[in-house]
Structure 1
Amino acid sequence: MAAALILTWILPSGEFSTEENEFGREVVIPGTFEAFDEKEYLHPTSIFTVVPRAFADAQGIIFFVLIIGGALAVVRQTGAIDALLGKMITTFGNVPGPLLFFTMFAFAVASATLGMAEEYIPFAIILVSMCVALKMDSITAIGTMVVGYCIGYAVAVLNPFTLLVAQDVAGLEPTSGAWFRIVLAFPLLAIGFHHVWKYARIVRTNPEKSLVYGIEGNIHQKAPEFPELSLKTISVLLATIVALIVVVVGIALYGWYLVELGALFLGLTIVAGLIAGLGVNKMAEAFGKGAAELTGTALLIGFARSIALIMEDGEILHTVVNYLATPLAAVGPELAAVGMLMIQSVLNFFIPSGSGQALVTMPLMAPIGDLVGVSRQISVLAFQFGDGLMNMIVPTNPVLMGILGLASIPYDKWFRFIMPLLLKLLVFCSIALVIAVVIGYT
């Protein structure tokens, strides 16, 4: 925020002319940027007065995030998610290849739809114990989890914390363009699984080649017991699936957004709690704890919106867009899309929160896309790739560092394991962005 305020004093004010496109969205017109003759300087106290304005402006997203956090906590409290994972482990426990694939797939689906991330941390010890019992190691276990969750974020189709926020800022219909991301999910998961399984087979053949050989700290901890996949837990899982289907139908056919989706997840909270027999008090307690866990995310959303408001008030938002768009326009839309991915990847180190990054960068990237011939849907996709994939490696990602700490994996060992995969995924996603430009993905 302070840096944004200082930039308003340094950079010239200016703006592009805008017009309404065929989809009814306001887009900037290339080549129309004009610097203002006179400049009004924001008062230093603006850094404080903008905060309540930003929170008020982003209140819909903030409250939706808190509701999602509470709803997921109640679903988790029912034991349905734990029971499903336990069933997978007991079913595929003697065949590690399918077990790792379906576990990775499950994490990817949960992240792509519900935006789950922090909820995975308790599963770290479970997966480590499971993999060690199958003659693999902790890196195999955590690789299965982190690769799945990050790919899920990279190709999210319903994720309320990244996709819906980014599309809202970019002026796109919620969940639009899902078909292309679903198509990309399969090769991305194939690349990710191949990397993890190749490493796992090496460790099974020669344990001394494990990157954490001799330093695993908690492989002897007893894994938590799983609840049984009973009629109640199956019913909760079915209710969750039905809720996700209703989300898709509501958005596609009836134009639902934050208010309606928030109401739906509140309904899911009550239905799941009643099915599991939690009682009103336990439901309320779980909901409150779940919402509290996402308070940090909610605050980041408000402060991230403050940055954009400062640039808007200082009339430098379009100036920054013009500066960034000029070099990207020179290389053509295909390479410009790849350049946007690189920018988002670097920014993820400084803004690891997906919601925060969307609110900071999409006000810039959406109009940049207009200027360089890249659709706003592709701008959102570049954001998703940069946010999702870089979460595998940036040490500022609290979820990653929490999981590594729980599994006693030194960061340098994790870096050696994940960096080759990250490079392969970035190359694939760069090619995917070029294809998206060529086919006119919108």
Structure 2
Amino acid sequence: MKKKRPMPDVFIILFSFMVLVLLASYIIPAGSYERTTNNGLTQVATDSFQYITAAPLNVMDLFTAIQKGLVAAAPLIFLIMMVGGVLKVIESTGAISAGIHQLISKANGRRNVLIFIFCATFSTLASVGVGANLAIAFIPIGLFLARSMKLDPIVGVAIIFLGSYAGFGAGVFDPTVTVAGQTIAELPLFSGFIYRGVIFIVFLAVTTAYICRYAKRIKQNPAHSVMGADAFDNTEATHEPGALPPFTFAHKLVLLIFAASFVFFLYGGFNFGWGITELSATFLMVGIATALIGRMSPNDFVKRLMNGASEVMYGALVVGVAAAVIVLLRQAQLIDTLVHSVASSLDGHGKIVAMELLYVFNLVFNGLITSGTGQAAIVMPIMVPIGDMLEVTRQATFITFKLGDAVTNIITPLSGTLMACLAIARVSYVEWFKFVLPLVLIWIVIGGAFVGVAVAINYGPF
């Protein structure tokens, strides 16, 4: 029997892109736009493109680009590590788990209410930076709830995983992907949150309704499950969680401080121009406050902080290696050539159609590079000048990237988070594909509508 080849790791894919850039430097002519600075934004002069002479890349350039990419992306890398470390400290207090269990008890077994509570909870967590990876840890609870309601494991996965990505798609106050994209676009961090809040509400409502409709069909006839009527047979990962953990005053205080930190940073960002450095500092202060409330010893706090940072190290390094692709493109002076080529192909389509085409491109690209920050490092330096030449606001360009980054995460087999959740629930990828494909198409249409509106209204900084 022929052994099935595993999916290539994201680092392999990124390095393959680097090799392609190396080869392209011998084939594609270098080019350059003149750039000007207007109101603090670096913009290309639309009619200034010209082909230039540039030396092709060599093997040493290929490998030194990794170091250069890591250095260039250092602020984002360390922010991701800080966020991961602090979230681990918060998680270790039991505040997140206790809060979720409290919500379960309040729902009192009502199916649609439980589905909404779980989707809304994980959507909110993902929209403020509690990464979708956390969903993996809560899949067993989702499975238990699904079984208690006599539903299939797909519902158990969906209320956790899809809930998370409904919030991730909006990224209202996401301190990683939203910050990465807006930093490259030279936008105030977290600006435009009102429009992203609307996106959040729509995605959450549609996702919840989709899961509730599927659950209702199964409730009426278990044979309607894509897994069959006996979906829970021989499933081990559905044991009932232990006794309900107490939701203490300390837990409430920790969650309140975490929520208040975003208000604090927004105030500083809009009034004092705070950026990534201040955001990292804000998270560190939240971590220290959490440690004090949780009565952690200094050594214990540092240990938990480092454990959390180590858990997100993989994703943080993806940002650096993705930045290495841009390092090579810049070194070979191919970015402006790509921008000119894409902009020329979009010429005559109109702003809205052009940005919709960029949105579709990003949907496809996200199927390969599922890391949002890694994708931002590659795509945004190309999309920003294209948006400028189309006279589209930077905020509209960013939302085109953000929505394109989110949707295909729930269906691509290259998503480690998705495959891990399915493995825990013992749901095959084919079964998940059948279940989620209609929702993916709905998300694509909704995302496209939001892109079109953003362009049409000249979606601005706030």
Answer yes or no: same fold by TM over 0.5.
Answer: yes
Structure 1 residue 369 displacement after superposition:
0.9
Structure 1 residue 17 displacement after superposition:
2.0
Asked if residue 3 in structure 1 is aligned to residue 20 in structure 2, the reply is: yes
**Does the 8 Å contact 1:162/1:355 carry over to 2?**
yes
Q: Which residue of 2 aligns with 1:49?
A: 64
Of 35, 43, 56, which residue of structure 2 is paired with 1:27? 43
Q: After TM superposition, which residue ranges in structure 1, 4 or more long, deviate above 6 angstroms? A: none
**Does the 8 Å contact 2:172/2:200 carry over to 1?**
no
Of 263, 275, 287, which residue of structure 2 is paired with 1:269? 287
Q: Secondary structure at the match of 1:35?
A: strand
Asked if residue 116 in structure 1 is aligned to residue 131 in structure 2, the reply is: yes
For residues 59-88 of structure 1, the C-alpha deviation after alignment (integer angstroms, 9 at most, x for no partner) is 111111111110000000000000010001
Asked if residue 191 in structure 1 is aligned to residue 206 in structure 2, the reply is: yes
Determine the C-alpha separation between the residues in 2 that align with 1:135 and 1:215.
10
Determine the C-alpha separation between the residues in 2 that align with 1:224 and 1:281.
29
Q: Which residue of 1 aligns with 2:339?
A: 321
Structure 1 residue 142 displacement after superposition:
1.4
Runs of 5+ consecutive residues of structure 1 not aligned to the other structure: none
Q: Which residue of 2 aligns with 1:98?
A: 113
**Does the 8 Å contact 1:152/1:388 carry over to 2?**
no
Structure 1 residue 151 displacement after superposition:
1.8
Determine the C-alpha separation between the residues in 1 that align with 2:242 and 2:282.
32
Superposition TM-score, scaled by structure 2 size: 0.92
Of 158, 163, 176, which residue of structure 2 is paired with 1:148? 163
Superposition TM-score, scaled by structure 1 size: 0.96
Query: For the structure 1 residues 115 and 233, does the alpha-carbon distance in structure 2 shift closer, same or farther, using more than 3 Å as the test?
Result: closer
Asked if residue 338 in structure 1 is aligned to residue 356 in structure 2, the reply is: yes
Deviates more, 1:305-314 or 1:254-263: 254-263
Q: Which residue of 1 aligns with 2:196?
A: 181
Determine the C-alpha separation between the residues in 1 that align with 2:158 and 2:147.
13
Determine the C-alpha separation between the residues in 2 that align with 1:285 and 1:200.
42
For residues 27-53 of structure 1, the C-alpha deviation after alignment (integer angstroms, 9 at most, x for no partner) is 1122321111x3322232101122222
Determine the C-alpha separation between the residues in 2 that align with 1:366 and 1:440.
15
Give the letter aligned to residue 387 of structure 2: G
Give the letter aligned to residue 422 of structure 2: L
Determine the C-alpha separation between the residues in 1 that align with 2:375 and 2:98.
34
**Does the 8 Å contact 1:115/1:153 carry over to 2?**
no
Give the letter aligned to residue 335 of structure 1: V
Q: Secondary structure at the match of 2:48?
A: coil
Q: Secondary structure at the match of 1:10?
A: coil
Identical-residue share of aligned pairs (%) = 28
Pairs aligned (count): 440
Give the letter aligned to residue 172 of structure 1: L
Determine the C-alpha separation between the residues in 2 that align with 1:372 and 1:356.
25
Asked if residue 131 in structure 1 is aligned to residue 149 in structure 2, the reply is: no
Determine the C-alpha separation between the residues in 2 that align with 1:136 and 1:309.
49
Determine the C-alpha separation between the residues in 1 that align with 2:87 and 2:242.
20
Q: Which residue of 2 aligns with 1:438?
A: 456
Give the letter aligned to residue 42 of structure 2: E
Q: Which residue of 2 aligns with 1:421?
A: 439
Asked if residue 68 in structure 1 is aligned to residue 86 in structure 2, the reply is: no
Q: Which residue of 2 aligns with 1:240?
A: 258
Structure 1 residue 329 displacement after superposition:
2.5
Deviates more, 1:423-432 or 1:272-281: 272-281
Runs of 5+ consecutive residues of structure 2 not aligned to the other structure: 1-17
Structure 1 residue 215 displacement after superposition:
4.0
Give the letter aligned to residue 278 of structure 2: E
Structure 1 residue 323 displacement after superposition:
1.2
Q: Which residue of 2 aligns with 1:381?
A: 399
- Counterparts in 2 of 1:241-260, with a 5 A limit? 241-260=259-278
Structure 1 residue 225 displacement after superposition:
4.6
Deviates more, 1:338-347 or 1:206-215: 206-215
For residues 377-402 of structure 1, the C-alpha deviation after alignment (integer angstroms, 9 at most, x for no partner) is 11211111111111111111111111
